[in-house]
Amino acid sequence: MASPILIFIDADACPVKEETYRVAERYGLKVFVVANSFINTPRTPMIERVIVPAGPDIADDWIAERAAPGAIVITADIPLAARCVKAGAEVLGPTGRAFNEASIGMALATRNLMDDLRSAGETTRGPKPFAPRDRSNFLSALDTAVQRLKRAGHPAS
């Protein structure tokens, strides 16, 4: 039998936690909210708050170690997304952008280029402000990911 569907949220700056909780509740899915500081979460056994020690990439490492087929990872962190895609997880950005084998290489290359430009003193624009349409796109992408995993035989948590 396939592993149950689990959702992991890279939570420190995630703008779609509440939306994720609603979708997870509808499908009966377990959610892990991972951060290096306290984050308020609903009091339900299906949502587990995971507080990791402060430090670079510790939350990312915790998530990446558990990413596997049947997992959905929600993150805006491109290197974390790449690690999770490689592990076979479904990976979504908060805007609903799906990261997969076909798209993660370009996303990493773009991120690295922008990082190099900033390191060289170039002024770059940050991400666009989060918009209502992003929230809607995320909800649609999360629902699609859950449906795809259910069709593939992954049960609810």
pLDDT tens profile 106-115: 656 555 555 6
Provide the 8-state DSSP code for 155: P
Report the predicted TM-score, pTM, of the whole model to 2 decimal places: 0.86
Q: Which two tokens stand for residue 128?
A: 């666009």
Cα–Cα distance for residue pair 6/27, rounded to 1 Å = 11
pLDDT tens profile 66-108: 999 999 999 988 899 999 999 999 999 999 999 987 666 565 6
Q: Buried b vs exposed e over 5-31: b needs ≥16 C-beta within 10 Å?
A: bbbbbbbeebebbebbbebbeebebbb
The values of phi and psi at residue 83, to 5°, are -60, -40
Helix or strand run (H / E) with residue 140: helix 132-151
Q: What is the set of domains in the chain, with CATH numbers?
A: 6-151 (3.40.50)
